[in-house]
Structure 1
Amino acid sequence: MLPLPEARAEEFWRRKTALAASGDHGLLVARDAGGKIIGTVQMVLAPLDNQPHRGDIIKLLVHRGARRLGVGEALMRAAQAGKTLLVLDTATGSAAERLYTRLGWRRAGVIPDYALYPDGRLTATTVYYLQLK
């Protein structure tokens, strides 16, 4: 949410890396040739005992300068490892919807007023799933 103080962003990433280290979450990172982070994807790996076969994609981030270069696709494909069903939600009407549809994700439905944009406006979210072999 705006404004985003640097300390809050650092704390966010500290929490995410701790969750990844615990094994509860997955965190994949894409870097450019110089080693700069240009994208990440975060996943909940085994949300419940009766759902070890599925995962939840909770956040895909790609740096503006690295978009439309295959970074998001590569991260999303890497996130599929070891699962037979994935789910995610994204802001309805976002550019991410085109990526997910192109990668074979199926739309399950729309939930109105689900989340906030960084400026505080409400947005609907579209829920997607991907069945893997």
Structure 2
Amino acid sequence: MSTDPQTTISIFWADDVAHNVRELGALLHACVHDGASIGFVLPFPQEESEAFWIDNVLPAVQRGVRLLLVVHRDGRIAGSGQLDYDTPPNQPHRAEVRKLLVHPDFRRLGLAKALMAELERQAGERGRSLLTLDTRTGDKAEPLYASLGYKTAGIIPGYCRDPFQGNLDSTTLMYRAL
């Protein structure tokens, strides 16, 4: 999977996650420190960032219930996105987009759109016809998802802590039929 000569998107299998945990950790760390509301608050040390990949992502990838896509640009991990398809028996048609990350050094290059397009393609290959996600209400990602055809299902007030101030932010639940 490639978007241009400098950029490639690939599936990261369990061995890839294990071998790249430091760089994946650096990606997550940079995004949280840049203000991304993706489940973590400051202080957020590099060790906690790496632990997320080892304790959360790696086991799901090993079980075959989560797909991890990684975008490389200029020889670095520039972003990632996850497709969680660990759904109950009555929802085999659905998956959730999780933790779409683009390193602050690589923003505004179309990497998030490229990751989303590939996540959607991969979802289709897995027989998934409905994608869901949530994003902090009013965040930079919300208009991105809307531009890709995601519809707002609703807003939950007081859903998550702001990574800097500690106040509670709302989240917007979104979906897209493929």
TM-score range, shorter-chain basis? over 0.9
Q: Which residue of 1 aligns with 2:155?
A: 110
Please list, as runs of the form range in 1=range in 2, the aligned pairs for 1:88-127 lying within 5 A after superposition: 88-119=133-164, 120-127=166-173
Q: Which residue of 1 aligns with 2:62?
A: 21
> Aligned match of 2:81 in 35, 41, 46?
41
Alpha-carbon separation, structure 1, partners of 2:58 and 2:118: 18
Alpha-carbon separation, structure 2, partners of 1:43 and 1:118: 24
Listed one character per residue, the Cα deviations across residues 37-95 of structure 1 (whole Å, up to 9, x for unaligned) are: 11111221131111111101121111112111111011111111222100001000001
Structure 1 segments unaligned to the other structure (5+ residues)? none
RMSD: 1.1
- Specify the code of the residue in structure 1 equivalent to 2:109: L
The secondary structure found in structure 2 opposite 1:128 is strand
Alpha-carbon separation, structure 1, partners of 2:85 and 2:148: 20
Contact residue 46 and residue 54 of structure 1 kept, 8 A = no
Alpha-carbon separation, structure 2, partners of 1:46 and 1:17: 14
The secondary structure found in structure 2 opposite 1:79 is helix
Q: Mean alpha-carbon deviation: is it higher for 14-23 or for 110-119? A: 14-23
Provide runs of 4+ in structure 1 moved above 2 Å: none
TM-score after normalising by structure 1? 0.93
TM-score after normalising by structure 2? 0.70
**How many residues end up aligned between the 2 structures?**
131
Alpha-carbon separation, structure 1, partners of 2:86 and 2:94: 7
Structure 2 segments unaligned to the other structure (5+ residues)? 1-40
Alpha-carbon separation, structure 2, partners of 1:27 and 1:21: 11
Residue 120 of structure 2 corresponds to residue 74 of structure 1: no
| C-alpha displacement of 1:7 | 1.5
Higher helix share: 2
